[in-house]
Amino acid sequence: MRGVFAKGNIKKGTKIKSSDIFFAMPLLKGQLTSGQWNENMVADRNYTKGDLIPEKLNQRKITKKEIIYQAIHEIKGMLNEARIVVGNEFDV
């Protein structure tokens, strides 16, 4: 999984735009993941180029539906790695 990093300087209190960040590996403990990223985040401090963006900036609540779809996505990835074919249509 990829983490979110500052592409350049980001000032405290400014809205973080997609042009301000980049996604890269490794994902570090406490870091925001690429899947958690959204355009409504505000910098809680000054960030410099290469700083990780912390998970605590993600104030959005994750719905049960998102949790289920994320689990399905991860399971399909595991099945794919094991070369077990699953069709596009399935029920949960």
Same domain as 92, residue 80: yes
Range of the domain at 67: 61-92
What is the number of domains present in the chain? 2
Same domain as 54, residue 19: yes
Please name the residue that has the structure tokens 């070369």.
83
- Work out the average pLDDT over 15-31: 93
Distance CA 29, CA 81 (A): 25
Same domain as 72, residue 51: no
In the predicted model, is pLDDT for residue 91 greater than 80? no
Same domain as 50, residue 22: yes
Same domain as 67, residue 52: no
Same domain as 53, residue 69: no
Same domain as 69, residue 54: no
For 56, residues 6+ apart whose C-beta sits below 8 A from its C-beta are: 30, 44
pLDDT range class, residue 60, cuts 50, 70, 90: low
